[in-house]
Amino acid sequence: MVIIEATNLEKHYPSPEDPAKTFAAVNKINLSIQSEEIFGLLGPNGAGKTTTLEMLEGLTSIDKGNVLINGLDVITQPYEVKRIIGVQLQSNEYFDRLNLSDLLILFASLYSTSIDPKALLAKVDLENKINALPNDLSGGQKQRFSIACALVNNPKILFLDEPTTGLDPQAKRNLWNLAKTLNEEGMTIVLTTHNMEEAEYLCDRIAIMDQGSIIAQDTPQQLILDYAPEPPAAPMQGNIEDVFLSLTGHGLRD
């Protein structure tokens, strides 16, 4: 069952070289994301993946095209859409004098719902930090708490924008395990990432973006077979990083 359908999606911004002109940050892309899958958007900086994510979430206006989230139109039904999605952003600012329990209760109140803060923190392995302040948390703990905040409304779909950037290997793996667990419980997850290993490990399907367009889209295994079956000095076949370099000709952070 398709839960996210984006058709001919476009977003234009003024050109840095000539403000009188525009460039397509997102250029007529189409996405069809299945319920209960983990779907990844990969691309170098400036490829348009975060802009795409924000249009799917209703956080950035859509210039052309349309998006349906669980049958709801993002443009005409934005409040209904926000009730069924959770959004974890690249960076978050919190009221620094409220502890984690108080913050979760505050965020839940925005959805007119009540929660058990301890149970929600246990879901992200932070139950022992229930009385801690946000500034008391490590980088990995802050990322997991930001996901807890995105879960207060028990969303059908969770959006993660580069969730493991800057994390150490253990914190990264912990977050991967959390994403897998949430998905196994029935949650659809859409994420952007710069981490090829992350995309290959987590995602059921991947769309690779470059210069505002989707240039390839399939399962990680099929993308490897199609674009990197014989990397130099590799045992059997390439990986998702080889696919990306083959398609774009440059690294993710170029």
CATH code for position 209: 3.40.50.300
Q: How many CB atoms lie within 10 A of CB 19?
A: 9
- Position 134 in a domain: no
- Position 95 in a domain: no
**How far, in Å, CA of 48 to CA of 46, rounded?**
5
- Position 61 in a domain: yes
**H-helix or E-strand containing 108?**
helix 100-109
Tens-level pLDDT at each residue, the chain (254 residues)? 999 999 999 999 999 889 889 999 999 999 999 999 999 999 998 899 999 999 999 999 999 999 999 999 999 999 999 999 999 876 667 777 899 999 999 999 999 999 999 999 999 999 999 999 998 998 889 889 999 999 999 999 999 999 988 888 888 888 999 999 999 999 999 999 988 889 999 999 999 999 999 999 999 999 999 988 876 565 556 677 677 777 877 655 44
**H-helix or E-strand containing 213?**
strand 213-218
- Position 224 in a domain: yes
Query: 162 in the Ramachandran plot: left (φ > 0), alpha (ψ -120 to 50) or beta?
Result: left
Helix-, strand-, coil-residue percentages of the chain, each rounded to 5: 35, 25, 40
Using only the alpha carbons of the chain, give its radius of gyration. 19
Picking from 221, 186, 194, 158, the residue whose alpha carbon sits closest to that of residue 42 is 194
Record the pTM: 0.88
Boundaries of domain holding 40: 2-84+155-248
Tally of structural domains, the chain: 1
Picking from 118, 113, 133, 253, the residue whose alpha carbon sits closest to that of residue 195 is 253
Instruction: Give 42's strand partners.
Output: 193, 208
- Position 225 in a domain: yes
- Position 8 in a domain: yes
- Position 6 in a domain: yes
- Position 99 in a domain: no
pLDDT for 254 equals: 45
**How far, in Å, CA of 147 to CA of 94, rounded?**
13
